[in-house]
Amino acid sequence: MAGRSSAASPGGASVDGVMRRLRRAIARMEDPAVEKIAEEQKGDPFQVLIATMLSAQTKDAVTFAASQRLFARAATPAAMLRLAAREIEELIYPASFYRNKARHVLEACRQLLDRFGGRVPTTMEELLTLPGVGRKTANLVLIVAHSSADNICVDTHVHRIANRLGWVRTRTPEQTEEALYAVAPRRWWSSVNLYLVSWGQNVCRPVYPLCDACEVGRLCPRIGVTRVGRAAGGSQGIRS
């Protein structure tokens, strides 16, 4: 993992306070794609793994639809290996890097059968040996499929929002993951990704975040935010 970075910055928002508010706020929002797949498939680790692999740099709606198409044809590693790479490409298109992902899916299925008896590994070390699996994917699989309370999954939303809130001062998602273990109470570790991804997709957007409509706006120092959006078609503004 990357070297240790600065943790909470002076004036940063309370992790506990933010997470308590977001827990209530996201109850009215749709779950992210991987969590929706997990709920539909009763937490099937294989389908959680593949859906998470497909989700990289891909919008949630595309990930969810691609996963549904793929699993309708092949819901197990053995069934997936009966498909040609071209078939998988067609099923998961227009997911980003769909050709590479199709190859990774096939090779991961082959390794699951050859090395793990068809089961999805339950450790970070083993998951990282699978093609197309990095720390983000491995952490999310451990949390969603294996109910781990010992992992924090950091994607671009979590990295962005954790820095905006002043929880961390980091340059990469890997640094953010390490820093969050130091500043976030353990009870929130497995929820950080779900809460912040949901919030990042709907409110704390990369560009023109809806700060005036934010449930945690009073707690947030808005670090790095220069332009804010307006909810319900309002005008955009510049923060002084």
Annotated active-site residue in 60, 114, 136, 212: 136
Cα separation, 173 vs 157, whole angstroms: 9
Closest CA to 196 of 5, 21, 2, 12: 21
44 is catalytic: no
196: phi then psi, degrees, rounded to nearest 5: -75, -30
- Are 177 and 189 a contacting pair, CB within 8 Å? no
36 is catalytic: no
Q: Give per-residue burial for 28-66: e unless 16+ CB within 10 Å, then b.
A: eeebbbbbbbbeebeebbbbbbbbbbbbbebebebbbeb
Q: What angle do CA 149, 2, 141 make, to 5 degrees?
A: 30
Closest CA to 145 of 185, 190, 95, 188: 190
Annotated active-site residue in 44, 60, 101, 155: 155
Residues acting as catalytic residues: 136, 155
